[in-house]
């Protein structure tokens, strides 16, 4: 499982000309589900998102979580995070989970994040979306969940460090 996390002043996602998810200050999270991902990988990402301290305190130091900062989270499924171009110019998506499996874990992520008290907006799984954001900082982080996946996807992480 791969996640790209960006601190934003605002973000929205649009499908067929209609905004379906919108947040003010908070996090835009692009989530790619890989073959073999399971609940442990999901819990790793959820826990990190809940406890990540990248929002400024009174001194401007990154010391607050999303909840402490009063922010929201926009979660967008993006299987293209698992694209592999090591063997050519067109990305291959052999590492991406099948849509049914990915949708299940994506929906579980939404539910678990909300259960942790986070305000969560979403994209539309499997749809062609336009995502608009205003980066804050910019602050960005990339994560790969699970030791097996860190090893398996290490070649894909180069652009995310």
| pLDDT for the residue 149 | 52
**Its pTM surpasses 0.85:** yes
Where are the domains positioned within the chain?
2-160
CATH T-level assignment (fold) for domain 2-160 = 3.50.80
pLDDT at residue 147 tops 90: no
| pLDDT for the residue 5 | 97
Pick the catalytic residue from 9, 59, 65, 79. 79
Pick the catalytic residue from 6, 78, 122, 144. 78
CB contact at 8 A, 72 and 120? yes
To the query of whether residue 104 is one of the catalytic residues in this protein, the response is no
Residue percentage of the chain with pLDDT more than 70: 90
Pick the catalytic residue from 51, 80, 85, 130. 80
Task: Please give, one letter per residue, the 3-state secondary structure of the chain.
Answer: CEEEEEEEEEEEEEECCEEEEEECCEEEEEEECECCCCHHHHHHHHHHHHHCCCEECCCCCEEECHHHHCCEEEEEECHHHHCECCCCCCCECCCECCHHHHHHHHHHHHHHHHHCCCEEEECCCCCCCEEEEEEEEEEEEEEECCHHHHHHCHHHHHHHC
pLDDT at residue 151 tops 50: no
| pLDDT for the residue 155 | 46
| Cβ within 8 Å of residue 54, ≥6 positions away | 7, 62, 139, 141
Per-residue pLDDT tens over the stretch 64-89: 999 999 999 999 999 999 998 888 88
Cis link prior to 138 (omega < 30° from 0)?
yes
To the query of whether residue 78 is one of the catalytic residues in this protein, the response is yes
Per-residue pLDDT tens over the stretch 90-99: 999 999 999 9
Q: For the chain, what is the mean pLDDT?
A: 91
């Amino acid at each position: 499982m791969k996640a790209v996390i960006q601190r934003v002043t605002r973000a929205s996602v649009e499908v067929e000309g209609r905004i379906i998810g919108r947040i003010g200050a908070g996090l835009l999270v692009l989530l790619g589900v890989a073959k073999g991902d399971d609940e442990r990988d999901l819990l790793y990402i959820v826990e990190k998102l809940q406890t990540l301290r990248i929002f400024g305190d009174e001194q401007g130091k990154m010391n607050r979580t999303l909840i402490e900062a009063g922010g929201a989270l926009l979660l967008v499924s993006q299987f293209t995070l698992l694209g592999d171009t090591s063997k050519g110019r067109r990305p291959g998506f052999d590492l991406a989970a099948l849509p049914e499996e990915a949708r299940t874990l994506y929906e579980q992520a939404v539910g678990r994040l909300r259960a942790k008290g986070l305000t969560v907006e979403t994209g539309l799984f499997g749809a062609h979306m336009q995502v608009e954001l205003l980066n804050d900082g910019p602050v960005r982080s990339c994560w790969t969940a699970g030791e097996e996946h860190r090893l398996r996807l290490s070649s894909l992480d180069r652009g995310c460090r």
